[in-house]
Amino acid sequence: MALALCLRTAASRRLAVSSATPSFVTPCASHQTCPSRRHSTTDAETSPPPPTTDDDDDDEERYLPPWSTAQPRNTSSKAFARFRQHVNPLSRRFQMPADLPQQWPHSDFDNVNLPLFLDIGCAKGGFLLELVGRRHGGREKEAKDDDYMNLSKDLFEDTTSDWLPSEMNYLGLEIRPGVSQYAQARVEKRGLNGNLSFVGCNANVDLGRLLTLYQESADAANEGDNRPAFVSIQFPDPHFKKAHNKRRVVTPALVATLAQFMKEGDVVFLQSDILDALEAMRERFVEEDGERYFDEWADPNGAKDDQVYGMSNPLGVPTEREVSVLKQGLPIYRTLFKRNGVTFDS
């Protein structure tokens, strides 16, 4: 009787299992693949994608350069003045040409026939704002800049007239998008529109295009006069790691572009508070195209305190970084090159 009871119990269990299984589920053959419960194929996935049209701009933002005027920032936001300290200039997005106003440079400068002061890696623009403000006036300075402005006058004698023509335009280039927009907003606050402009771009991508547009905008009578007469590259990102040295801003191509557009006697001024960074920039100007088209200038007053690369600031207008370093009693390394008379060979 016990054996019959066990057999009856087992049979009832099999019956319960079979009745719990839905009758519409068919078992998969051994050679078939059962659909996964994690993913069910839909008609949308199996059907071909719809044809693209010129109006299809789903991925438009992927192809906008990081400085695109189609991505305006809220200048009233507190976050507007906070920026990334470093970017990779070799990344795909920073290899894209910058967006410029359709009428550039007429859109930014009142007189495009003037020679150009070019500051590559201008950061928030404090140096150019102070330089242009001293030379061409403007509205009252921003309160937060007072310490920098006062210290710059205490530490340096203004010698801009020894190096710069009385009338110039001033252009700052900055690779970090938010920084270049912030600098341009300061131009408007200081009332320096028409003389000073900042462009967000990668100088190693856009410099030739910018200088070509600027030169071609001149009147026929002034052709060639509106060239970069003074170029400054001050305290660039040093990119300390050996693997990152290729990211440095001064490249052989940049030196060749400057040589192409500058005239004999025009100046390139380099400075940094990091000796290796200064020597890396200088090396580009004493080899290949740099050696052919530029001559290193020897300061007749000699090096300050016999410091290597210890020449004085030729303009007497420091950058904000420069003031900060000098307040700490740390050295700054400088050198200067002049364009010689060798005709550029393209």
Alpha-carbon distances of 68 from 14, 62, 134, rounded to whole Å? 70, 11, 31
Identify whether 237 is a catalytic site residue: yes
* Phi, psi of 234, deg, nearest 5: -125, 125
What is the rounded distance in angstroms from the CA atom of residue 62 to the CA atom of residue 330?
43
Active-site position among 145, 158, 237, 299: 237
Provide the strand spans (E) within the chain: 116-120, 169-174, 196-200, 228-234, 267-272, 294-296, 333-339
DSSP string, 18-85: HHHS-TTPPPPPTTS-PPPSS----HHHHSPPPPP-TT--TTGGGGS-TT-TTS---TTSGGGG---S
- With tokens 């580009």, the residue in question is 284
What's the half-sphere exposure (Cβ side, CA atoms, 13 Å) at 229? 17
- With tokens 């016999």, the residue in question is 306
Closest CA to 310 of 334, 338, 291: 334
- Let me know how many helices (H) and strands (E) the chain has, helices first: 10, 7
Q: Which residues pair with 339 in a beta bridge?
A: 294
User: Annotated active-site positions, please?
Assistant: 237
